[in-house]
Amino acid sequence: MTVWYATALILSIAVFAVVLYFARRSATYQDLDRRIQSEADLTAGILAESYHARGTLVEKDTAGRPVLTADVAAVLEVVPDYLLVTSRDGRLLFASPDARALTFAEFEQLNLITRPPAASGPQLPGQVRIEPNGPTLHYIVRAVPDAGDQFGAIFAGANTQSAELRLEQLLLTLLIAFFVGVVPAILVGGWIAARALEPIDRMITEVREITDGRSLHRRLPVPMERDELSRLAETLNQMMTRLERSFAALRRFTADASHELKTPLTVVRAGVERAITRPDVPSETLAPLEETLQEVNRMTELLDSLLTLARADEGRTELHREPVDLREILEEARETGELLAEHAGVGMEIRLPPEPVVVSVDRSRLRQLALNLIENAVKYTPRGGQVSVELGSHDGRAVFTVADTGIGIAPGDLAHVFDRFWRADSARTRTSERAGTGLGLAICKWIAEAHGGTIEVQSRPGRGTTFTVGLPRG
């Protein structure tokens, strides 16, 4: 932000300086134009006046060259800058002291320019640089119409050095102003910006703390001054109130839905269970009852998973934590894993370290996590494959991995495996397998993260997949 302000400031000052420079420059040159114009006009006036008073104004000097009569020349002598007067046939009649100070070669260049103009209209000023190192002159050439036929042209020129000098001074002044003005402006601007943004920074931190899910009842302090900041704080507070309300509604809905859906499930289950456990039921009646019971359990599982995730979204983690040796959990899961693997024709290996790996966890959730990952690995590994489970410690974390030699996951799908209801291409799973709820890995992710841990997946299609769970110890 400060950088943007500084850039804008520098740019505007630069534009200002450039505009000022060019305006000054053009004004200076106009001054110069006016000066040489009036010098030329003055000379023409003097010549015309003298002509009317005395007639001829040209005489011969001692060498026989035509020159302006001495008294007129004396009058013109006081005109500053470069002034030349020529006769109609192009011979020099008068040169001002500045012009006489030039070397012969330089003087010749002026003489060349001083030709009688074609028309007697107003002349445009020109600029010439006297070579090789003479002055650059701004000049004008004009005719002398009212002085008989003795005069050809008047050349009036002024050195542009004086004008350029003034422009250079202006440029220097601007440059100084630039550094004296801009550098402190940037420093002060940065300080002001930091001061102005500091309350916003604080607000951002507080909003983050509040919206992490557990402190939604808290509100931002509203500053006393009625400015944009206090309005922002009020707006955010209103938003949080609405959020809190909708979370409360969700909580109520979750409770209601769980009750409303589970009561009928209980009723169905009760009926089926009574019928199925009656001693004299023929087996053709038992089969559909068994199917119904299976579906009731499936729905119950789905409902529980959904409710668990809904509560997790609210940021409520419900864990019954106690110190547990993870080896026990995997040891308990071992037999189930081996049975699943045996059924699928897959090898199962569980490697546990000799020393305990004690972590503060919710035992039943960890068991669920381990079994879900193992079941998942077996499900996506073809007959003859291998599933390896390993537990260890790494950098003060308990790490357990479930690796399979199964079909793997396409790179594009890796990002989605923990999404709810996400399923790999169903054609690739064994068709004889009962489909899962599609929530298994989402639940795994929740369990790992609720314990402050992580879950990661690496996979190569056709080679296999490895899930890695890391849990903080201590």
Catalog residues that contact another protein under the rule CB under 8 A. Answer: 255, 258-259, 262-263, 265-271, 273-274, 276-277, 279, 281, 283, 286-287, 289-290, 293-294, 296-298, 300-301, 304, 307-308, 311, 316, 318-320, 335-336, 339-340, 342-343, 364-365, 367-368, 371-372, 375, 433-434
117-152: burial string, b at 16+ Cβ within 10 Å, e else = beeeeebebeebebeeebbebbbbbbbbeebbebbb
Closer residue to another protein in complex, CB, 202/274? 274
Two structure tokens written together for 143: 């005719």
Cross-strand partners of 361: 322
459 vs 411, 444, 456, CA distance in Å?
Answer: 8, 17, 10
Residue (238 or 364) nearer to another protein, CB: 364
The C-alpha atoms of residue 435 and residue 465 are separated, in whole angstroms, by 19
Nearest Cα neighbor of 470 from 446, 453, 447 is 453
Nearer of residues 264 and 411 to another protein, judged by Cβ: 264
Task: Say what the alpha-carbon torsion angle 391, 394, 398, 400 is, to the nearest 10 degrees.
Answer: -30
* Least CB distance to another protein at residue 317 (A): 9
Q: Are 50 and 74 in contact, with CB atoms under 8 Å apart?
A: no
- Cβ of residue 473: shortest distance to another protein, in angstroms? 22
Residue 60 or 259: the one with the smaller Cβ distance to another protein is 259
| Environment class of 328 (CB within 10 Å of its CB; exposed 0-12, middle 13-18, buried 19+) | middle
Closest separation in Å from C-beta 196 to another protein: 44
221/288 with CB nearer another protein? 288
Nearer to another protein, 137 or 296 (CB): 296
What is the smallest separation between the CB atom of 432 and another protein, expressed in angstroms? 8
Work out how close the CB of 450 gets to another protein at its nearest, in angstroms, rounded to a whole number: 11
* Closer of 234 and 301 to another protein (Cβ): 301
Six-digit token string for 255: 């409770």
What one-character-per-residue DSSP string does 204-263 give? HHHHHHHTTTT-TT--PPPPSS-SHHHHHHHHHHHHHHHHHHHHHHHHHHHHHHHHHHHH
* Sequential DSSP letters for 298-359: HHHHHHHHHHHHHHHHTT-----EEEEEHHHHHHHHHHHHHHHHHHHT-EEEEE--SS--EE
Q: How far is the CB of 323 from another protein (least distance, A)?
A: 18
| Rounded distance between C-alpha atoms, residue 382 and residue 401, angstroms | 19
Q: In whole angstroms, how close is the CB of 436 to another protein at the nearest point?
A: 9
Between CA 117 and CA 92 the distance in angstroms is 15
Alpha-carbon dihedral sign for residues 338, 341, 345, 350: negative
What are the backbone dihedrals phi and psi of residue 334, each rounded to the nearest 5 degrees, phi first? -55, -50
Q: Position of tokens 């890796």?
A: 414
The residues facing 387 across adjacent strands are 348, 404
Q: Considering beta carbons, is residue 147 or 333 the nearer one to another protein? A: 333
Nearer to another protein, 66 or 347 (CB): 347
Minimum Å gap between C-beta 364 and another protein is 6
Q: Which is nearer to another protein, 143 or 370 (CB)?
A: 370
As measured in angstroms, the least distance from the Cβ of 430 to another protein is 11
